[in-house]
């Protein structure tokens, strides 16, 4: 008979080999728009990353940026190693789920929970997008905290060094992703003893949370949050109620599975189901704000922590079975539904990310090709325009950080509609579509003439206001049937070759007519003034404001705003706004 240690050894070898087969196609993907922003800012100093937070104008999550530093130092700009890094984190998360469950359940039940987490569809997304280590790292640190807390029950009087370690892990979780700021509440829920004892045990973790929250507010100069983000109590409560059913469908393809598991737990232990539900609330109370976005593929990131909690719940359901036959039937049914669902969605998820990978890999190679010197790649496609930030960031990594010269510029075609003078009449023009990049030099004028039909002649009024917190903000007035706001941004950057070049971004966001957009959440520049269109001119590759150059970012930036409607057409943009320090 195989002893337990040997059994677990071979079980984990089998799980590892299966995971390599499951994830192998996405390990060699290129990087995407969200990834490249974090990678670019990983070149910032540690001091700036922690105290100035250049990575984000609205959130304080520096761990994602810091995590790329060893990757770049050891391997350079290697997407393969970025994805392997995420894959290893996911394996460690599964291992600590196993170790936590093993404290109370048998080995098979513990392995059951680890397998459900590792092979879930959200886990596939977590490895595909390398920046999503901002979920993986805090998940891992939180699980290590829970494991140490459950196994050793440390207090300041008993094992204070473990309390210090858990405090450190809590802070690392907080700076990874802000939804993990609920970790002290989770530790409170799983504590033992009366209320007074629980407060004493968890006081260091709540004090850590308080200090972090105050420091976060100091760095962000406020509470943060997206410029037009609103909180709907109705949406929040509906998501809270539906979330168990939704994650069941994501994992098993059927909402009834989690109802069945919860019913079994109710039969065996009311206390256990109350505890697990409390864990659910503590782990996801912040995440409920975004979880309603499912079923979008990229929104599956918001469900990863929910998958972890449901995997744990399913393990307790397996443990509640009274004999081995019942356990075998339960495990077979749940695993069959789970693997059928994961394997059915896997090709679609892979195809989605592989297509993006090919597209952005091709764009990166194109800008490094000397044959395309001084060419302009126009973007007409709304989907590609929505990720136009990628082109600026990858160009900045090559030309500003790595000292690799780039030759072509990428630009949303909208700018040539608004400012035809930006167009070089003797230049070479390409168009980037979802299928690749093609030469349109001979037909560019006809292409722009057709594209111009997407714009109404009117422009939305934009005014400078003070928001409820007394900060400078811009209010854009769209009609009631507007579905979103488009922000156009123009910046100038200097590279290692002493070139000054203009970059053009097109960024979409929801429209909330009650809200103004804080200036410092747009670009971190706090002052603004409106500019007449004829004050802006282009001389060669140099943008000018009146008689002077536009200063390189982060000194100055130009922004303008448009409204987009349900028919897909947009307004001409508002007056130009000059943002500056």
Helix (H, G, I), strand (E, B) or coil at 549: strand
- Is the pLDDT assigned to residue 514 strictly greater than 60? no
- Is the pLDDT assigned to residue 234 strictly greater than 70? no
Of the two residues 461 and 43, the one the predictor is more confident about is: 43
pLDDT band at 307 (very low <50, low <70, confident <90, very high): very high
Q: Which of 346, 310, 341, 308 minimizes the C-alpha distance to 128?
A: 346
Which H or E run includes 476? strand 472-476
- Give CA–CA dist 7/107, Å, rounded: 10
Give the pLDDT score at 281: 75
Q: What is the pLDDT of residues 421-434, one digit of tens each?
A: 777 667 899 999 88
Give bridge partners of residue 524 from the DSSP assignment. none
Q: What are phi and psi of 100, to 5 degrees?
A: -65, -45
- Give CA–CA dist 254/300, Å, rounded: 16
pLDDT band at 203 (very low <50, low <70, confident <90, very high): very high
**Given the structure tokens 């709540």, which residue do they identify?**
206
- Give CA–CA dist 295/250, Å, rounded: 9
- Give CA–CA dist 503/138, Å, rounded: 34
Going by C-beta distance under 8 Å and a sequence separation of 6 or more, which residues neighbour residue 438? 430, 431
Give the DSSP letter string of 186-236.
HHHHT--S-HHHHHHHHHHHHHHHHHHHHHHHHHHTS----TT----HHHH
Beta sheet of 472-476, edge-to-edge order = 462-466, 472-476, 517-518
Side-chain-side CA neighbours of 23 within 13 Å: the count stands at: 28
Of the two residues 147 and 303, the one the predictor is more confident about is: 147
Of the two residues 146 and 284, the one the predictor is more confident about is: 146
pLDDT band at 541 (very low <50, low <70, confident <90, very high): low
Alpha-helix runs per DSSP H in 444-493: 444-451
Q: What is the pLDDT of residues 124-166, one digit of tens each?
A: 999 999 999 999 999 999 999 999 999 999 999 989 999 999 9
pLDDT band at 293 (very low <50, low <70, confident <90, very high): low
Q: What is the mean pLDDT of residues 230-258?
A: 79
Q: What is the mean pLDDT of residues 328-346?
A: 95
- Is the pLDDT assigned to residue 229 strictly greater than 60? no
Give the pLDDT score at 85: 97
- Give CA–CA dist 344/346, Å, rounded: 6
- Give CA–CA dist 429/562, Å, rounded: 25
Of the two residues 574 and 209, the one the predictor is more confident about is: 209
Q: What is the mean pLDDT of residues 464-485?
A: 78
Q: Answer whether 351's CB lies under 8 Å from 141's CB.
A: no
Give the pLDDT score at 51: 93
- Is the pLDDT assigned to residue 271 strictly greater than 60? yes
- Give CA–CA dist 255/366, Å, rounded: 46
Strands 517-518 and 527-531 come out as: unpaired
- Is the pLDDT assigned to residue 516 strictly greater than 80? no
Percent of the chain predicted with pLDDT > 70: 90
Q: What is the pLDDT of residues 163-187, one digit of tens each?
A: 999 999 999 999 999 889 999 999 9
CA angle 494, 500, 501 (to 5 degrees): 105
pLDDT band at 283 (very low <50, low <70, confident <90, very high): confident
Q: What is the residue-averaged pLDDT of the chain? A: 87
What one-character DSSP code corresponds to residue 530? Answer: E
Least confident of 27-41, 248-262, 422-436: 422-436
Q: What is the mean pLDDT of residues 41-56?
A: 93
- Is the pLDDT assigned to residue 553 strictly greater than 90? no
pLDDT band at 287 (very low <50, low <70, confident <90, very high): low
Cα dihedral 90, 91, 96, 98, rounded to 10, equals 120
Q: What is the pLDDT of residues 97-120, one digit of tens each?
A: 999 999 989 999 999 999 999 999
Give the DSSP letter string of 150-189.
HHH---SSS-HHHHHHHHHHHHHHHHH-GGGGGHHHHHHH
Give the pLDDT score at 295: 60
């Amino acid at each position: 008979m195989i002893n337990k240690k040997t059994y677990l050894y071979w079980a984990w070898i089998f799980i590892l080999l299966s995971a390599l087969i499951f994830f192998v196609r996405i390990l060699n993907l290129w990087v995407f728009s969200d990834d490249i922003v974090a990678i670019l800012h990983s070149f910032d100093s540690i001091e700036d990353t922690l105290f100035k937070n250049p990575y984000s104008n609205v959130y304080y999550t520096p761990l994602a940026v810091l995590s790329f530093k060893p990757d770049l130092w050891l391997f350079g700009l290697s997407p393969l190693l970025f994805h392997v890094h995420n894959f290893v984190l996911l394996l460690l998360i599964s291992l600590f789920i196993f170790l936590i469950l093993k404290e109370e359940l048998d080995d098979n039940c513990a392995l059951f929970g680890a397998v459900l987490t590792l092979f879930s569809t959200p886990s596939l997304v977590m490895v595909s997008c390398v920046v999503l280590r901002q979920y993986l790292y805090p998940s891992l640190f939180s699980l290590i905290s829970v494991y140490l807390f459950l196994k050793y029950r440390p207090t300041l009087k008993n094992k204070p060094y473990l309390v210090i370690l858990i405090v450190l892990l809590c802070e690392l979780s907080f700076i990874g992703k802000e939804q993990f700021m609920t970790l002290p509440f989770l530790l409170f829920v799983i504590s033992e003893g009366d209320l007074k004892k629980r407060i004493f045990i968890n006081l260091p973790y709540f004090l850590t949370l308080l200090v972090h929250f105050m420091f976060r507010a100091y760095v962000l100069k406020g509470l943060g949050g997206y410029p037009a983000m609103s909180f709907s109590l109705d949406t929040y409560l509906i998501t809270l109620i539906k979330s168990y059913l939704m994650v069941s469908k994501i994992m098993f393809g059927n909402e009834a599975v989690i109802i069945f598991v919860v019913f079994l737990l109710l039969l065996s232990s009311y206390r256990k189901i109350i505890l697990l539900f409390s864990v659910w609330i503590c782990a996801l109370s912040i995440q409920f704000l975004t979880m309603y976005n499912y079923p979008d593929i990229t929104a599956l990131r918001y469900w990863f922590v929910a998958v972890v909690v449901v995997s744990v719940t399913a393990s307790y359901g397996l443990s509640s079975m009274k004999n081995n036959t019942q356990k075998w039937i339960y495990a077979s049914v749940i695993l069959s539904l789970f693997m059928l669902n994961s394997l059915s969605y896997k090709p679609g998820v892979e195809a989605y990310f592989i297509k993006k990978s090919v597209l952005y890999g091709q764009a990166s190679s194109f800008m490094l090709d000397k044959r395309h010197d001084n060419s302009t790649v126009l973007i007409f496609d709304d989907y590609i325009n929505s990720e136009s930030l990628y082109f600026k960031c990858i160009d900045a990594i090559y030309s500003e950080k790595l000292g690799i010269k780039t030759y072509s510029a990428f630009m949303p075609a909208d700018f040539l509609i608004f400012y035809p003078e930006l167009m070089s009449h003797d230049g070479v023009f390409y168009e980037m579509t979802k299928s690749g990049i093609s030469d349109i030099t001979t037909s560019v004028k006809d292409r722009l003439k057709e594209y111009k039909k997407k714009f109404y002649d009117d422009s939305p009024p934009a005014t400078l206001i003070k928001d409820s917190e007394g900060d400078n903000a811009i209010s854009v007035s769209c009609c009631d049937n507007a579905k979103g706001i488009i922000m156009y941004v123009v910046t100038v950057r200097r590279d290692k070759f002493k070139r000054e070049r203009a970059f053009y971004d097109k960024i979409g966001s929801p429209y909330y007519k009650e809200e103004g957009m804080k200036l410092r959440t747009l670009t971190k520049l706090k002052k603004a003034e409106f500019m007449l269109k004829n004050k802006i001119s282009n001389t060669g590759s140099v943008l000018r404001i009146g008689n002077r150059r536009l200063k390189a970012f982060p000194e100055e930036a130009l922004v303008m705003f448009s409204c987009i409607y349900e028919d897909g057409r947009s307004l001409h943009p508002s007056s130009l706004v000059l943002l500056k320090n």
